[in-house]
Structure 1
Protein backbone atom coordinates (compact mmCIF):
# COMPACT_ATOMS: atom_id res chain seq x y z
CA UNK A 1 0.00 0.00 0.00
CA UNK A 2 1.05 3.56 -0.59
CA UNK A 3 0.20 6.74 1.29
CA UNK A 4 -2.19 8.20 -1.24
CA UNK A 5 -5.44 10.11 -1.02
CA UNK A 6 -7.45 6.88 -0.74
CA UNK A 7 -5.67 5.86 2.45
CA UNK A 8 -5.72 9.00 4.55
CA UNK A 9 -4.74 8.87 8.21
CA UNK A 10 -7.49 9.56 10.75
CA UNK A 11 -7.81 12.98 12.39
CA UNK A 12 -6.23 11.72 15.63
CA UNK A 13 -3.05 10.90 13.67
CA UNK A 14 -2.69 14.57 12.68
CA UNK A 15 -3.46 15.80 16.20
CA UNK A 16 -0.90 13.45 17.74
CA UNK A 17 1.69 14.34 15.08
CA UNK A 18 1.32 18.08 15.71
CA UNK A 19 1.44 17.64 19.50
CA UNK A 20 4.50 15.41 19.13
CA UNK A 21 6.17 18.03 16.95
CA UNK A 22 5.52 20.68 19.62
CA UNK A 23 6.94 18.32 22.27
CA UNK A 24 10.08 17.73 20.23
CA UNK A 25 10.47 21.42 19.40
CA UNK A 26 10.42 22.14 23.13
CA UNK A 27 13.26 19.59 23.37
CA UNK A 28 15.17 21.44 20.64
CA UNK A 29 14.69 24.68 22.59
CA UNK A 30 15.97 22.99 25.77
CA UNK A 31 18.97 21.59 23.92
CA UNK A 32 19.85 24.98 22.42
CA UNK A 33 19.41 26.64 25.81
CA UNK A 34 21.81 24.12 27.33
CA UNK A 35 24.30 24.23 24.45
CA UNK A 36 24.47 28.02 24.57
CA UNK A 37 24.39 28.53 28.32
CA UNK A 38 25.91 31.89 29.17
CA UNK A 39 28.14 32.79 32.09
CA UNK A 40 25.22 34.74 33.54
CA UNK A 41 23.01 31.65 33.39
CA UNK A 42 25.72 29.54 35.04
CA UNK A 43 25.91 32.08 37.85
CA UNK A 44 22.17 31.68 38.48
CA UNK A 45 22.55 27.92 39.05
CA UNK A 46 23.13 26.39 42.43
CA UNK A 47 26.62 25.05 43.01
CA UNK A 48 25.36 21.47 42.64
CA UNK A 49 23.57 22.28 39.35
CA UNK A 50 26.63 24.02 37.97
CA UNK A 51 28.94 21.12 38.90
CA UNK A 52 26.52 18.66 37.26
CA UNK A 53 26.33 20.83 34.14
CA UNK A 54 30.10 21.26 33.88
CA UNK A 55 30.79 17.55 34.46
CA UNK A 56 28.50 16.36 31.66
CA UNK A 57 30.52 14.55 28.98
CA UNK A 58 30.33 15.72 25.37
CA UNK A 59 28.77 12.43 24.28
CA UNK A 60 25.76 13.10 26.51
CA UNK A 61 25.29 16.52 24.93
CA UNK A 62 25.59 14.88 21.51
CA UNK A 63 23.00 12.25 22.50
CA UNK A 64 20.68 15.06 23.62
CA UNK A 65 21.05 16.77 20.23
CA UNK A 66 20.48 13.53 18.30
CA UNK A 67 17.44 12.72 20.44
CA UNK A 68 15.64 16.03 19.98
CA UNK A 69 16.57 16.67 16.35
CA UNK A 70 15.83 13.04 15.43
CA UNK A 71 12.45 13.24 17.13
CA UNK A 72 11.67 16.53 15.42
CA UNK A 73 12.60 15.11 12.02
CA UNK A 74 10.45 12.07 12.78
CA UNK A 75 7.47 14.31 13.52
CA UNK A 76 8.03 16.28 10.33
CA UNK A 77 8.14 12.97 8.46
CA UNK A 78 4.82 11.97 10.04
CA UNK A 79 3.26 15.24 8.91
CA UNK A 80 4.68 14.71 5.41
CA UNK A 81 3.42 11.09 5.53
CA UNK A 82 6.90 9.66 4.98
CA UNK A 83 7.96 6.27 6.29
CA UNK A 84 11.44 7.54 7.19
CA UNK A 85 9.71 8.71 10.37
CA UNK A 86 10.32 5.22 11.79
CA UNK A 87 14.15 5.21 11.55
CA UNK A 88 14.24 8.84 12.73
CA UNK A 89 12.25 7.88 15.84
CA UNK A 90 14.41 4.79 16.38
CA UNK A 91 17.61 6.86 16.32
CA UNK A 92 15.98 9.39 18.64
CA UNK A 93 14.92 6.65 21.08
CA UNK A 94 18.41 5.15 21.21
CA UNK A 95 19.89 8.59 21.89
CA UNK A 96 17.30 9.26 24.60
CA UNK A 97 18.15 5.99 26.34
CA UNK A 98 21.87 6.79 26.17
CA UNK A 99 21.37 10.31 27.51
CA UNK A 100 19.06 9.34 30.34
CA UNK A 101 21.14 6.30 31.27
CA UNK A 102 23.98 8.69 31.99
CA UNK A 103 21.75 11.17 33.79
CA UNK A 104 20.06 8.62 36.03
CA UNK A 105 22.78 6.03 36.62
CA UNK A 106 26.13 7.76 36.09
CA UNK A 107 25.62 11.29 37.36
CA UNK A 108 24.19 13.06 40.39
CA UNK A 109 21.12 14.36 38.51
CA UNK A 110 18.67 12.63 40.85
CA UNK A 111 20.41 14.07 43.90
CA UNK A 112 20.48 17.55 42.34
CA UNK A 113 17.01 17.66 40.76
CA UNK A 114 15.15 15.00 42.73
CA UNK A 115 12.59 12.55 41.40
CA UNK A 116 11.64 14.92 38.55
CA UNK A 117 14.82 13.73 36.79
CA UNK A 118 13.50 10.15 36.85
CA UNK A 119 9.94 11.12 35.96
CA UNK A 120 11.04 13.23 32.99
CA UNK A 121 13.29 10.41 31.78
CA UNK A 122 10.56 7.79 31.98
CA UNK A 123 7.94 10.02 30.32
CA UNK A 124 10.34 10.93 27.51
CA UNK A 125 11.22 7.29 26.82
CA UNK A 126 7.52 6.33 26.82
CA UNK A 127 6.66 9.13 24.37
CA UNK A 128 9.57 8.11 22.11
CA UNK A 129 8.41 4.48 22.11
CA UNK A 130 4.83 5.53 21.33
CA UNK A 131 6.01 7.71 18.43
CA UNK A 132 8.04 4.81 17.05
CA UNK A 133 4.95 2.59 17.30
CA UNK A 134 2.84 5.28 15.62
CA UNK A 135 5.25 5.40 12.70
CA UNK A 136 5.19 1.60 12.48
CA UNK A 137 1.39 1.61 12.50
CA UNK A 138 1.35 4.37 9.89
CA UNK A 139 3.51 2.26 7.60
CA UNK A 140 1.36 -0.84 8.17
CA UNK A 141 -1.87 1.08 7.51
CA UNK A 142 -0.45 2.72 4.40
CA UNK A 143 -0.62 6.22 5.88
CA UNK A 144 3.12 6.67 5.34
CA UNK A 145 4.99 6.04 2.11
Structure 2
Protein backbone atom coordinates (compact mmCIF):
# COMPACT_ATOMS: atom_id res chain seq x y z
CA UNK A 1 0.00 0.00 0.00
CA UNK A 2 1.42 3.37 -1.00
CA UNK A 3 0.98 6.41 1.23
CA UNK A 4 0.16 9.57 -0.69
CA UNK A 5 1.89 12.78 0.33
CA UNK A 6 -1.52 14.37 0.97
CA UNK A 7 -2.23 11.65 3.55
CA UNK A 8 0.82 12.56 5.63
CA UNK A 9 0.65 15.04 8.53
CA UNK A 10 1.98 18.54 7.78
CA UNK A 11 5.22 17.93 9.68
CA UNK A 12 5.93 14.89 7.51
CA UNK A 13 5.17 16.73 4.26
CA UNK A 14 7.49 19.54 5.39
CA UNK A 15 10.24 17.24 6.66
CA UNK A 16 13.05 18.73 4.55
CA UNK A 17 12.54 22.44 5.42
CA UNK A 18 11.91 21.56 9.07
CA UNK A 19 15.02 19.37 9.10
CA UNK A 20 17.06 22.22 7.62
CA UNK A 21 15.83 24.49 10.45
CA UNK A 22 16.69 21.79 12.97
CA UNK A 23 20.09 21.39 11.34
CA UNK A 24 20.80 25.12 11.63
CA UNK A 25 19.58 25.28 15.24
CA UNK A 26 21.66 22.29 16.30
CA UNK A 27 24.70 23.46 14.31
CA UNK A 28 24.75 26.67 16.35
CA UNK A 29 24.73 24.61 19.56
CA UNK A 30 27.50 22.32 18.29
CA UNK A 31 29.56 25.34 17.25
CA UNK A 32 29.10 26.98 20.66
CA UNK A 33 30.10 23.78 22.44
CA UNK A 34 33.15 23.23 20.22
CA UNK A 35 34.39 26.83 20.40
CA UNK A 36 33.96 26.90 24.17
CA UNK A 37 35.61 23.53 24.78
CA UNK A 38 38.55 24.31 22.49
CA UNK A 39 38.94 27.77 24.08
CA UNK A 40 38.75 29.60 20.76
CA UNK A 41 40.06 33.05 21.73
CA UNK A 42 38.13 35.09 19.19
CA UNK A 43 34.85 33.30 20.02
CA UNK A 44 35.33 33.74 23.77
CA UNK A 45 36.60 37.34 23.59
CA UNK A 46 33.28 38.78 24.80
CA UNK A 47 32.70 36.15 27.51
CA UNK A 48 33.14 37.63 31.00
CA UNK A 49 35.86 35.90 33.06
CA UNK A 50 33.18 34.84 35.57
CA UNK A 51 31.42 32.89 32.82
CA UNK A 52 34.55 30.95 31.93
CA UNK A 53 35.29 30.32 35.60
CA UNK A 54 31.74 28.98 36.02
CA UNK A 55 32.07 26.74 32.94
CA UNK A 56 35.44 25.47 34.21
CA UNK A 57 33.90 24.67 37.60
CA UNK A 58 31.23 22.39 36.15
CA UNK A 59 31.73 18.64 36.67
CA UNK A 60 33.09 16.63 33.75
CA UNK A 61 29.79 14.84 33.26
CA UNK A 62 28.11 18.18 32.52
CA UNK A 63 30.61 18.90 29.76
CA UNK A 64 30.04 15.40 28.38
CA UNK A 65 26.26 15.82 28.51
CA UNK A 66 26.56 19.24 26.84
CA UNK A 67 28.49 17.60 23.99
CA UNK A 68 26.01 14.75 23.65
CA UNK A 69 23.14 17.25 23.68
CA UNK A 70 24.56 19.44 20.95
CA UNK A 71 26.18 16.85 18.72
CA UNK A 72 23.30 14.38 19.22
CA UNK A 73 20.88 17.03 18.03
CA UNK A 74 23.03 17.77 15.01
CA UNK A 75 23.32 14.06 14.13
CA UNK A 76 19.56 13.64 14.54
CA UNK A 77 18.91 16.60 12.23
CA UNK A 78 21.21 15.19 9.54
CA UNK A 79 19.50 11.80 9.76
CA UNK A 80 16.07 13.45 9.65
CA UNK A 81 17.13 15.50 6.63
CA UNK A 82 18.03 12.35 4.70
CA UNK A 83 14.86 10.62 5.94
CA UNK A 84 16.25 7.91 8.19
CA UNK A 85 14.43 6.53 11.22
CA UNK A 86 17.80 6.29 12.95
CA UNK A 87 17.25 9.98 13.84
CA UNK A 88 15.25 8.82 16.86
CA UNK A 89 18.30 7.69 18.84
CA UNK A 90 20.55 10.75 18.61
CA UNK A 91 17.51 12.95 19.24
CA UNK A 92 16.70 10.87 22.34
CA UNK A 93 20.28 11.20 23.57
CA UNK A 94 20.15 14.95 22.90
CA UNK A 95 16.92 15.31 24.89
CA UNK A 96 18.21 13.38 27.91
CA UNK A 97 21.56 15.16 27.88
CA UNK A 98 19.98 18.61 27.48
CA UNK A 99 17.62 17.91 30.37
CA UNK A 100 20.52 16.82 32.57
CA UNK A 101 22.47 19.99 31.76
CA UNK A 102 19.37 22.08 32.51
CA UNK A 103 18.88 20.43 35.90
CA UNK A 104 22.55 20.87 36.82
CA UNK A 105 22.84 24.46 35.64
CA UNK A 106 19.52 25.82 36.89
CA UNK A 107 18.28 23.60 39.69
CA UNK A 108 21.35 22.15 41.39
CA UNK A 109 23.77 25.07 41.07
CA UNK A 110 23.55 28.82 40.74
CA UNK A 111 25.46 30.64 38.01
CA UNK A 112 27.42 33.70 39.18
CA UNK A 113 25.44 36.92 39.62
CA UNK A 114 24.66 38.55 36.30
CA UNK A 115 25.13 35.36 34.29
CA UNK A 116 22.01 33.45 35.16
CA UNK A 117 18.57 34.74 35.83
CA UNK A 118 15.22 34.16 34.24
CA UNK A 119 16.37 34.82 30.68
CA UNK A 120 19.15 32.23 30.84
CA UNK A 121 16.82 29.71 32.47
CA UNK A 122 14.12 30.23 29.84
CA UNK A 123 16.63 29.87 27.00
CA UNK A 124 17.93 26.63 28.53
CA UNK A 125 14.36 25.43 28.90
CA UNK A 126 13.73 26.27 25.23
CA UNK A 127 16.69 24.07 24.31
CA UNK A 128 15.17 21.14 26.23
CA UNK A 129 11.70 21.71 24.76
CA UNK A 130 13.03 21.87 21.20
CA UNK A 131 15.08 18.70 21.80
CA UNK A 132 11.86 17.03 22.96
CA UNK A 133 9.91 18.25 19.94
CA UNK A 134 12.58 16.94 17.58
CA UNK A 135 12.61 13.55 19.33
CA UNK A 136 8.80 13.25 19.15
CA UNK A 137 8.91 14.25 15.48
CA UNK A 138 11.45 11.53 14.70
CA UNK A 139 9.54 8.93 16.74
CA UNK A 140 6.32 9.70 14.89
CA UNK A 141 8.10 9.47 11.57
CA UNK A 142 9.67 6.14 12.47
CA UNK A 143 6.44 4.61 13.77
CA UNK A 144 4.27 5.96 10.92
CA UNK A 145 6.75 4.78 8.29
CA UNK A 146 7.50 8.08 6.59
CA UNK A 147 11.10 7.70 7.73
CA UNK A 148 12.85 4.70 6.27
In the superposition, the TM-score normalised over structure 2's length comes to: 0.82
Native 8 Å contact 2:16 2:81 kept in 1: yes
Say which of 96, 121, 126 aligns to 1:123.
126
Q: Cα deviations across residues 6-43 of structure 1 (Å, max 9, x unaligned)?
A: 66674422111110011000011000111012578777
Structure 2: 5+ residue runs without aligned partners? none
For residues 40-78 of structure 1, what are the alpha-carbon distances to aligned partners after superposition, in whole Å with 9 as ceiling and x for unaligned?
A: 877754343233122111111110111111111111111
Residue 109 (structure 1) aligned with residue 145 (structure 2) = no
Q: CA RMSD in A?
A: 2.4
- What residue number does 2:39 align with? 37
Structure 1, gaps ≥5 residues long: none
Contact 2:91 2:134 in 1 (8 A): yes
C-alpha separation in 1, matches of 2:43 and 2:20:
31
1:135 aligns with 2:141: no
Task: Give the C-alpha shift of residue 120 in structure 1.
Answer: 1.2
Q: In 2, Cα distance between the equivalents of 1:40 and 1:77? A: 31
Structure scoring higher RCO (CA < 8 A, sep ≥ 6) equals 1
Do the aligned residues in 1 keep the contact of 2:95 with 2:128 (CA within 8 Å)? yes
